[in-house]
Every structure is written in C-alpha cells, then in structure tokens.
Chains A and B, each alone.
Chain A
Amino acid sequence: MLELRIGHLYPRELNLYGDRGNLLALADRVRRRGGRVTVLPLEPGDPLRMSEIDLVFIGGGQDREQRWIAEDLARGKARELAAAVRDGMPLLAVCGGYQLLGRYYRTVSGEKIPGVGLFDLWTEAGSRRLIGNVAIESDLWEEGDRTLVGFENHAGRTWLGPSVRPLGRVLRGHGNNDRDGSEGVRWLNAIGTYLHGSLLPKNPRLGDWLILAAWRRKYGIDRLEPLDDRWEEIAHRAALRRLGAAAVQPTCSRDRRGAW
C-alpha cells in the first residue's frame, strides 16, 4: 500500500487561516487512491527525523508565533530541512511559514526576525495589509489549466533573489509584494506561497504535484491514478469566476517564464 508520511511543522503555533485544510486535502487524495496517510506533528523542541517523512508542510502564524518558531528552527533544524529539500523532498510552506523559510522577515515594528535561508528571498512588512481573493498562473505543469486560486492576507512584502523562481504570475490579487506580479516561490520540489483558503482543496493538481514528487522519490512511480474531482473543479472554477479571472485564464507561452 502506498503511504504518504507528512511532517507537519508546528501545528499548534503555525495554524492560521485553515491551514489544516491542506493536510485534509492531501489525506483525501491519498486515501481515495487506496493509500495511507500519516501526519507527524512536529512541535518546537522535537527532533526532525527526515528519514521518517515524505513531505513537509508548514503553515502560517502571527508575528509573535513566528519569532518563537524562528528560534527553534535556528537550532539545527534549518540545515536538516535544507538538506532534505536539496535531496528532492517536497515541501509546502504557506504565508508565515513561507516568510520564515526566507533569509529574514522585518516586522512592522522594525524588528528583524532571522529566517531559515532555505529560499533565496526576504520579507519586509508594509503599512497596509494585502488582503483578498487571488488567482495566479503557475508553470509547475505544462498542460491544461494552470491557474491556482486562494486567499491572501499578509503585511509582508516578499522579494525573490536570483536563485529562485516564483510559483506563478498574479492574475488577480497582490502576490508577493504588490509590485512585480510574482506570487510565491519554487525551488526544486519546495513551494512557498501566500495563498491559503485553504490552498490544496481547491487546487487538486497542486496537491497531486506534491504527492507525486513524494512518491517518485520514495517509490519511483511517475504517474498518479486520476480521481473524480468534480467538487474540486466546481469550487476552483467558481473562484475564478468570482475573480473575473476566467477571462485571463492562460494559454500562456513558456518563454514568458523568468521575465517576472
């Protein structure tokens, strides 16, 4: 039986905005394929046993929680996490977790919270929060619908360094910094993003992309059984419709990549 072991980093501290939904969606997709899911909650102070984990999820939190977590990550975990990602481990980090995995996060009060440095990016808090429904176009896969939908709510403006690519291009909403049209980050199989809502339920292709990355690494398989995603697609399309983003839904060419 195929198994997916998810390491959930700081489920108590980083658990805003329905982050739980991402795990529920992953579990649902694995179970509907007859597989088994184990979620390993990792609290501050717990050792990271990367060999027991196939995929890492880290959610969002408030500034206060982030400061607390940054200290815990700095105690050796950051290095282990980076090594695993370099080895192909899929990772999804949302909102606060995304910011923490960058080089630093400067809060509204000017305090600089050191990040993990897993992603080549940094975040500076702005005065106005960026809030609302979002649609982006991602280049994680080539065929078919490449839109991702979600909700964003962040004060931080994130800027990407030269060694990483954005997760996608903003169709509607603010994205990383409300300036350069980029949203999120991708480095190898690790993804960081401001999209919650939750993200994975309404973007089943992204859920499968993560599961496949984990199972390719673990079992060497290179395709997943398709599922009846009627409700997922209805909800995804409804989100695009509400945003008026269906009209700009892409048939975008690949050469525009990297131009962000």
Chain B
Amino acid sequence: MSAARSSLRFAVAWRLVVALERLARLAGHGGSSLPGLWGQRLDPRLLEELAGTLEKGSAVVTGTNGKTTTATLLAEIGRRSGLRLAHNAAGANLISGLVTALAGQRAEGADQFAVLEVDEATVARAMPALRPRLIVVTNFFRDQLDRYGELLGAVGRVAEGITAVPETALLLNADDPHVASLARPDREVHAFALEVAGGAARKPGGDAILCPRCGRPLRYRSVTFAHLGDYACPGCGFRRPSPEVVGQVLRNGRETALRIRAGGQELADLARFQLPGLYNAYNAVAAAAAAWLLGWPAQAISRALSEATPVFGRMERFEADGHPVRLALVKNPAGFDAVLETLAGEGEPGALVLAINDLDADGHDISWLWDVRFEDHLALLARSRPLLASGLRAEDMALRLAIAGADRERIELEPDPERALDGALRRLPRGRPVTVCLTYTALLDLHRRLARRYPVAAFWERGARRGA
C-alpha cells in the first residue's frame, strides 16, 4: 500500500471514531469502546498510528488493582505540568477503548502525551502498537482467575507485553513479588514501595507467598497490605528490589499523612491524603514515581495528589433526598476488606447495600466473596440498618453475611441495586448515610440509572472533560 493511501485510510478511520464517539455521547451512552472497534476494523493499524502522532509519547498503567486511580492521578499531574494530554478516563482499557480515547482526544488537541490504563490481558497485544515510554505495573491480585485460570497467567501476559518493547522503561511495585519478578537485567527498571508504621506485625495474605523464581515460600520482614511488603526468598535469594521512590504512610486517627520521596528529593508531603485506604497510598506513590521518571515537576505532583478526590465509584459521594450516598467499587477481597475497614472506622454506618454481579467484566466466579473478612466486621454489620444484599448474586451475598455471623433475621434481599438503594433511603431517618458497595457492572448500571435522578456526573464526562 502506498504511503498516501495508508495515511488517507488513517485519516478516515480516525475521523470515523471521532464522529461515532460524539454521536454516542449525544445519545447518552458511555460509548467508550464501540467507536474504536469500528475504527480499528477500517484501519487495523489505527492504534499504532494514533500513538505515533503523540509528540512526547505515552505511559501505560497495568496490573490487577489501582489502574484507574493511578492513571487518573498521573494524568492530572501531567495536565498540571502543562501537557496537552489524552487519557482513557472512563477505564475502557481494551484495544478498542484505547483507540477511542486517543482518537477523540486528539481531535480536541490532546496530542502531546497519553496516559493509558491497559487491561492485563491486552498488554501483550497493545504494547507493540503503543511503544510507550514507561510501563507502570501496580500489583497482581487474584480477582480474575476465571479469565486467566491462574494468577501466573496474568503475570505471563504482562511479561509478554514487556518483552515486546525492549526500549520501554519499567516502573514496578517493589512490594509485590510477582510484579518485582518482571524486572529484566537488560532493561531500564525502576521500583516504588510503601512504608507503613506497624507493618512488621502483620501476616501476609495468601496470593503470592511462593517465590516467583524458585517456588519456595517467601519470608516477610514486614507486610503493608495483603501479600505486599518486604520479602525475601531463603532459597534463591530473590528479594524486594530496593525502591527509588518510597511513600511513607502515617495515620493520625482517621487522617492519613503521606510523604513521598525519590532519592533525596521530596515529591510530596501531604498532611492529609484524601483518598481512603492503603491501596490508594500505593496508587499515589505509583503515580508520583511515574511523573518523577517522566521529568514532571514535583510541584505538580504535590498539588495533584493533595487535591485528589475519588474517581468513578471509588468511594464516590453524592446527595440523594437529603442523604449522603457513597458508591464503593468492590472487586476482590483486598479491596472489599479495605472498604469495610474504612466503614468500620467511621461513626454512624447508616444503611449498607452490598451488590454483587457476575457478568463478564465482574468475573463469573464469585468465590472471592468467601475471602473477604466479614467476620472481622460483625459490629459494623450489626450497626448497619438496613443491611441489604443485592445484585445478580444477591442470594450468595446474603448467605455470605449469614455465615459470617450477621443476624440472619435482619439480612434483606433485593436483587435490584436501585430498588435496594431506594428502599434504604425511604426507611432511613433524614441525613443518615447510605453506602453501596458494588461490583463493576452493578456500579456502571446503577450509576447510569442514578444520573437521571441525582447530581451524579456521567462518569465518562469526568476527567476527560476536566482537562479540556
């Protein structure tokens, strides 16, 4: 094919995606994947061509948890550094979603740099097209076993993607043994880690306790969160790489102070970090480390992190009929535990709705619910009134609560999350809060339905619009 024909094809495919995306948005759909799918069909090299037009390249964020938050924080730092920056803010992280985001935002002039979150299974296919400057790997948890069979499957796909782009630098979470095992001697590799007061007393969770190199059990000197911490293998000597960027977490009562340092330089010193949970401290350190490696100013890092507010469904807040309502995305034991811990630390729980779906994007296997430590939060369950199990797997959720030891008489079943929320709102005294914990598709659906009634921003308008 001649160069002229190929560039014509690109121009047509690109404009098609832009037009379809606008149409979808006008029609009130998120529309973050379909336009890209059609564009890619017209020009199979569309992703590569779009990535090639980015003046300063791109950074990719992958891993099981924290992709959306880390990418959102990194994009925010980039914008505050003065970049015209594209970002798949709605979390559409398969090839089609990447194409849609890059095409749409290029049309709006965001053509200098891109921050893209990429699904673990897509990394291997997307990397040769994107050829990013930096790949950030957050962690590997086992919330997607029914997709990969085993945790190591996901690790393998990311490793494959990394191998395909030998010139790309890596930023790895030193505290996650599987992530750290992705380091290659012939590569530019950087690592970040978290230090938490009191971490030495904890026991590691069950995800990654065997050495990724030789298969022997790892020894932990300290644990921050689940299987993350400072580990070493007594067999082959594999150990936590020494991190260049370190976040220190200090808890002052309910407030979290976070200080992030890179070498001798201070990237951020936040007396109050607003995102809840230790997992978000990890996301912040990952984003700060990436920004630092990309050469963005520390001032932008510090500002963006101090003003960070929860992204779509990550403890998002709005008001409904005089009640504060919060939506918390839950998709694996570690994340669910973190949400429960946050709720247990608060005064008045109000109503609690737990909505579990098992569609493709949630994972068909919901056995992970049995690894969530509801047993540790019986006081929270007893104070939550009403306590509603919801979603396509409402019955499983209700049974989980019953076996945890919640009052069997008080558990209620309402498979439709919107009706569950309405029921809670109706019965609660005015001003009392409602927390809805829900899996991805339940969140997407509830969000869409609530947006018609309450001031909940349509999620695809967040972030993407903010930078414009």
Contact = CB atoms under 8 A, between A and B. Distances in A.
A19 B402 CA distance: 17
Contacts of B405: 28
B149 A129 contact: yes
A143 to B, nearest CB: 23
Interface string A230-247: 111011011100000000
Given A20-B371, A62-B152, A153-B146, A231 B399 contact: yes
Nearest to B152: A62
B370 A20 contact: yes
A234 B152 contact: no
Contact of A231 (B152, B210, B402): B402
A201 B400 contact: yes
Interface in B380-406: 395-396, 398-400, 402-405
A24 B375 contact: yes
A18 B403 contact: no
A100 to B, nearest CB: 15
Which of B150, B369, B408 has the most chain A CB within a 10 Å cutoff?
B150
A25 B151 CA distance: 26
Interface string A139-156: 000000000000101010
A65 B142 contact: no
A18 B408 CA distance: 22
26 contacts: A11-B206, A13-B210, A13-B217, A15-B206, A16-B142, A16-B145, A18-B367, A18-B371, A20-B370, A21-B367, A21-B403, A24-B370, A28-B405, A64-B152, A68-B216, A131-B146, A133-B364, A151-B365, A153-B146, A153-B365, A197-B365, A201-B399, A202-B399, A231-B402, A235-B396, A237-B395
Interface in A181-195: none
Contact of B411 (A21, A231, A237): A231
Contact of A230 (B142, B209, B217, B408): B408
Which of B145, B149, B403 has the most chain A CB within a 10 Å cutoff?
B403
A20 B337 CA distance: 15
Q: How large is the interface on B (under 10, 10 to 19, 20 to 34, 35 or more residues)?
A: 20 to 34
A18 B366 CA distance: 9
Closest 7 pairs between A and B when the two form their complex, measured CB to CB: A21-B370, A18-B370, A18-B367, A238-B395, A235-B399, A231-B402, A235-B395
Which of B209, B368, B371 has the most chain A CB within a 10 Å cutoff?
B371
Contacts of A67: 215
Interface in B123-160: 142, 145-146, 149-152
Contacts, number: 103
B150 A25 contact: no
Given A13-B210, A24-B404, A234-B398, A132 B217 contact: no
Q: How large is the interface on A (under 10, 10 to 19, 20 to 34, 35 or more residues)?
A: 35 or more
B215 A132 contact: no
Interface in A32-55: 44
Nearest to B365: A151
A239 B392 CA distance: 11
A65 B210 contact: yes
Interface in B390-434: 395-396, 398-400, 402-405, 408, 411, 413
Contacts of A231: 395, 398-399, 402-403, 408, 411
Contact of B150 (A24, A44, A63, A197): A63
Given A64-B210, A238-B396, 9 more contacts: A11-B206, A13-B210, A18-B367, A21-B369, A155-B149, A201-B403, A230-B408, A231-B402, A235-B398
A177 interface: no
Contacts of B411: 231
Nearest to B411: A231
A155 B408 CA distance: 38
A25 B370 CA distance: 10
A181 B101 CA distance: 47
A157 interface: no
A16 B403 CA distance: 19
Interface of B: 142, 145-146, 149-152, 206, 209-210, 215-217, 364-371, 375, 395-396, 398-400, 402-405, 408, 411, 413
B210 A24 contact: no
B370 A153 contact: no
A11 B217 CA distance: 13
Interface string A209-244: 000000000000000000010111011011100000
A16 B205 CA distance: 12
Which of A17, A196, A232 has the most chain B CB within a 10 Å cutoff?
A17
B408 A197 contact: no
A12 interface: yes
A64 B215 contact: yes
Contacts of A21: 367, 369-371, 400, 403
A21 B373 CA distance: 11
A198 interface: yes
Contacts of A65: 210, 215
A33 to B, nearest CB: 14
A19 B145 CA distance: 14
Nearest to A197: B367
A146 B145 CA distance: 29
A230 B217 CA distance: 41
Contacts of A228: 408
A132 B367 CA distance: 12
B447 to A, nearest CB: 25
B337 to A, nearest CB: 13
Contact of A17 (B367, B396, B398, B408): B367
A24 B217 CA distance: 25
Nearest to B373: A20
A219 to B, nearest CB: 24
A135 to B, nearest CB: 15
B295 to A, nearest CB: 39
A196 B411 CA distance: 24
Contact of B367 (A131, A151, A235): A151
Contacts of B375: 24
B233 to A, nearest CB: 13
A24 B403 contact: yes
A24 B375 CA distance: 9
A98 B222 CA distance: 33
B414 to A, nearest CB: 13
A133 B216 CA distance: 33
Contact of A153 (B145, B210, B395): B145
Contacts of A13: 209-210, 217
Contacts of A132: 364
A64 B212 CA distance: 9
Contacts of B365: 17, 131, 151, 153, 197
